[in-house]
Amino acid sequence: MSRVPGHVLVIDDQEHVLVRVSNALRSVGVEVVVTSQTVGAARFLRGCELVLLDYHMPGLDGAAVLASLREAAAKMDDRPQFYLYTSDSNAAKDWQAAGFDGILANKGDDEHMVLQVQAALRGRRLRQARRSKAPFET
């Protein structure tokens, strides 16, 4: 697999998922921060390009955590993208309505997840490059 460096935050209540995802992403050069804490996760957003967020967590569901993170990110110049990371087909159906930028619906398939994260990071950088170009002047 090619390397696409980036900075990713992973929020999931299951420690084994955090370890597995972290190891898979780090193996391709991605800087990863993981947390099982939904409250206070916004402190990890600075410099983050992509957030992978589980939907089913104790206390707050993914939609509530996403709303909190989006509120914190609104004050940032360089906002991350927020992706739902789930294997729940019901949650997956409503990812856009819940406010996510994308979805990784094959939770547990690390190879697929790595490829999707790399694609999301490349896409984000392309969109940023297009936005940063000044209009052509004659």
- Let me know if residue 66 belongs to a domain: no
- What does pLDDT average to in each consecutive run of 10 residues of the chain (138 residues)? 76 95 95 91 92 88 89 90 90 87 90 93 84 58
Given a contact cutoff of 8 angstroms between Cβ atoms, the answer to whether 124 and 81 are in contact is yes
DSSP code string of 64-101: HHHHHHHHHHTT-SSPPEEEEE---HHHHHTTTTTT-S
Q: Is residue 136 one of the residues assigned to a domain?
A: no
Helix (H, G, I), strand (E, B) or coil at 75: coil
Give a yes or no: residue 60 inside a domain: no
d(CA 78, CA 57): 27
137 in any annotated domain? no
Amino acid at site 38:
T
pTM for this entry? 0.88
When divided into structural domains, the chain yields a total of 1
Given this model, what pLDDT does residue 138 score? 41
